[in-house]
Structure 1
Amino acid sequence: MDLPVTETLLLTLDKGVLHITLNRPDSRNSMSLQMVQELQGVFTWAAANAVRAVVLRGAGGHFCAGGDVRDMMTIRQKAVDDPRAYQSFNRVFGELLTQVTNAPLVVIAVVEGAALGGGFGLTCISDVAIARADAQFGMPETRLGIIPAQIAPFVVQRIGLTQARRLALLGLRINGVQAAQIGLVHEVCADAETLEAALQRTLADINQCAPDANRVTKALLLKVGHHPLDSLLDDAADAFAAAIQSAEGMEGGMAFIQKRPANWVN
């Protein structure tokens, strides 16, 4: 299985887990348009190739310090001839966040160093977030005279309106411990060694779960609050019936009775 060719990302595939490393360490992995487009392509590839989980992290001790200022300056030049250049440039990152949110696999963010602006947004759309205690999370946009346009809905969904207002309207930064307190991340680690151990535990837990069952469960969870309850429960019952009669459902039941690992456990 050939991995996509990328310039701003490092990719490795191991036992159904795709490790994506944002690889622009000189700019603390700031999000260029090229990086956004490469991430879109990689997540499309992952969804089409039965990848069970994606681990997203940054090179050089930082997760992602937000948008690339140099790209923004280039867009300023384009805006002279294209009045919607800024809108198009901004919107593509929201498309990425939506794509990753709905990806039919488990997304794990491993956060060290800076997770600002777009990096904050990437944390918000992960299924599991593990962070160093000294990581720095923030929404600095308003202090720069701009707004957190594309990440705002995902931030509110993740941590709630009250916390989102405080962080966005004051332009605050918080550390990993504080991020866990408001529900932004799930686990906080003191150093690189414990961070890696937490990641391996998370991957071991995912390995115990049936891939199709995880895919359907994630889709169901994402519908909550967006569909009428009765129709959602009807759809869930249909999905349950399909799951219990599927090859995974049959295998899971037999493995439980026979007290052995299911055949999807590596």
Structure 2
Amino acid sequence: MDQLPHCETLLLEKQGPTLFITINRPDVRNAMSLQMVAELSTVFSQIQEDLHIRTVVIRGAGGHFCAGGDIKDMAGARGQKAAEGEADPFYRLNRAFGQMIQQVNESSKVVIAVTEGAVMGGGFGLACVSDIAIAGPSAKFGMPETSLGVIPAQIAPFVVERIGLTQARRLALLGLRIDANEACSLGIVHQTATSNAELEEMLAGALDRVRQCAPIATAETKALLHRVGHEPMSGLLDSAAEKFAEAIRGSEGTEGTMAFMQKRPPAWAESND
């Protein structure tokens, strides 16, 4: 990607093979507006085929990750009436978020969520579709929708995939808010930091590990993992064997094998793209 798209709700910074996305609406605890949804979707679309970007780090400005949906957008949708033959404005609002979160979930990049402060509703869903999630000491997670008289329509399926039906029921049906340690025990996040310094160390360690792994092989592995449970196992394993043969005969497989035999880092581990 030669040029990062212009965004009003996001701060974008490319450092080597990593794209840092900072949700930048601190005055509303980074609540997710329709514009933010559209901008996130645009960014992920543009980087999908860019092999120079291997990792996307998502975090929030001002000490919060994302406090959920934007109340102003909700109020705006309430004031609209669907024209004949058009979908309900609330449907369009909700479904746009679902399409974006599915896009992040299926991205070819390694997505790392650095969660702090409020991680609620849509922000909770965004954390649940990350490949690696790290929580700071201030992080509070929750699905408060039922306590507000609505439902977690677009995030619930991803929460179930993340932590299983039993725990998702408890969180969603009681509208619970939990701390970082409980979020880690449930599998929402993978690591919890006790300080901001430790949080940055954990992030740096995760980014270093991504650099050790071949970018195409990583993307293919992520795609394979997402197919599990959605296809018959025999056919899935047939397809996986074909992908394995392609990988081992490809440039990354050749380089990885040679690097191992020559006891040196592979080329992708030294790349500063």
Tell me whether the two structures share a fold, i.e. TM-score over 0.5: yes
Q: How many equivalent residue pairs? A: 266
Cα offset for 1:157? 0.4
Structure 2 equivalent of residue 216 of structure 1 = 220
Residue 2 (structure 1) aligned with residue 6 (structure 2): no
Query: 3-state DSSP class of the match of 2:127?
Result: helix
Distance 2:19 2:81 in 1: 37
Distance 1:79 1:89 in 2: 13
Distance 1:63 1:55 in 2: 12
Once the two structures are superposed, the pairs formed by residues 58-73 of structure 1 within 5 Å of their partners are 58-73=60-75
Which amino acid in structure 2 is aligned with residue 73 of structure 1? A
Match of 2:263 among 251, 259, 262: 259
Structure 1 equivalent of residue 201 of structure 2 = 197
Which amino acid in structure 1 is aligned with residue 54 of structure 2? R
Query: TM-score, normalised to structure 2's length?
Result: 0.96
**Unaligned residue ranges in structure 1 (runs of 5+):** none
Equivalent residues of 1:55, 1:110 under 8 A apart: yes
Equivalent residues of 1:79, 1:86 under 8 A apart: no
Distance 1:79 1:56 in 2: 34
Which amino acid in structure 1 is aligned with residue 240 of structure 2? A
Structure 2 equivalent of residue 27 of structure 1 = 28
Structure 1 stretches (4+) deviating beyond 6 angstroms?
none
Cα-to-partner distance string for 1:175-220 (whole Å, 9 max, x where unaligned): 0000000110000001111000000000000000000000100000
Equivalent residues of 2:82, 2:88 under 8 A apart: no
Query: 3-state DSSP class of the match of 1:126?
Result: coil
Which amino acid in structure 2 is aligned with residue 233 of structure 1? L
Cα-to-partner distance string for 1:215-265 (whole Å, 9 max, x where unaligned): 100000000000000000000000000000000000000000001110011
Q: Which moved more, 1:97-106 or 1:32-41?
A: 97-106
Which amino acid in structure 1 is aligned with residue 221 of structure 2? T
Structure 1 equivalent of residue 48 of structure 2 = 47
Query: 3-state DSSP class of the match of 2:79?
Result: helix
Distance 2:28 2:252 in 1: 44
Which amino acid in structure 2 is aligned with residue 41 of structure 1? T
Distance 2:33 2:93 in 1: 10
Residue 79 (structure 1) aligned with residue 78 (structure 2): no
RMSD of aligned alpha carbons = 0.9
Equivalent residues of 1:75, 1:85 under 8 A apart: yes
Distance 2:81 2:238 in 1: 49
Query: 3-state DSSP class of the match of 1:109?
Result: strand
Residue 168 (structure 1) aligned with residue 169 (structure 2): no
Distance 1:236 1:80 in 2: 46
Query: TM-score, normalised to structure 1's length?
Result: 0.98
Which amino acid in structure 2 is aligned with residue 90 of structure 1? N
Which amino acid in structure 2 is aligned with residue 86 of structure 1? F
Structure 2 equivalent of residue 240 of structure 1 = 244
Which amino acid in structure 2 is aligned with residue 25 of structure 1? P
Cα offset for 1:21? 0.3
Cα offset for 1:77? 1.1
Structure 2 equivalent of residue 147 of structure 1 = 151
Cα offset for 1:134? 2.9
Cα-to-partner distance string for 1:129-151 (whole Å, 9 max, x where unaligned): 00013310000011110110000
Distance 2:76 2:228 in 1: 40
